[in-house]
Amino acid sequence: DQQVKQNSPSLSVQEGRISILNCDYTNSMFDYFLWYKKYPAEGPTFLISISSIKDKNEDGRFTVFLNKSAKHLSLHIVPSQPGDSAVYFCAASIQGAQKLVFGQGTRLTINP
C-alpha cells in the first residue's frame, strides 16, 4: 500500500513564481518528514525536513508546511529558479523504524 503519496506526477512553474509541491500520507505513526530533490543519473539530495511537533520549517527559499490533521505536507519554493527543475520526493519515517518511506515523486519544471 502507498503510505506516502504525491498525486501530481508533474508541475510546471514560471521562473520567479512560487512552486508548491504536495504530499499526503496515511500512516499516523509517521513523525518525521523529509523532502529530497533528484536530478537524472544522480542520487536524491536532501533538501529540508520537519518533525511532527512543528507545522513549519524554513531554509532559505524552501519552506515545508505540515498539517497533521489532514495528513498533508507541502514544499514551497520561492522564488523558483531554473536550477530547481528536478524530481522532488517526499519521505516519511516512524520513530524506532530504521527506514524512509518515499512518495512516487513530482517532476518540477521551471520555465524561463
Partner 1 sequence: KAGVTQTPRYLIKTRGQQVTLSCSPISGHRSVSWYQQTPGQGLQFLFEYFSETQRNKGNFPGRFSGRQFSNSRSEMNVSTLELGDSALYLCASSLVGAGVVREQYFGPGTRLTVT
81 DSSP β-pair partners? none
Distance CA 56, CA 35 (A): 13
Q: How far is the CB of 65 from partner 1 (least distance, A)?
A: 19
Of 77 and 87, which has the nearer Cβ to partner 1? 87
Cβ 79 to partner 1, closest distance in Å? 25
Nearest approach, Cβ of residue 95 and partner 1 (Å): 5
Give the nearer residue to partner 1 in terms of CB position, either 80 or 103: 103
Non-local CB neighbours of 32 within 8 Å, separated by 6+ positions: 49, 50, 51, 52, 92, 93, 95
Q: How many CB atoms lie within 10 A of CB 33?
A: 24
- Which parts of this chain interact with partner 1 (CB under 8 A)? 32, 34, 36, 41-46, 49, 89, 91, 93, 95-105
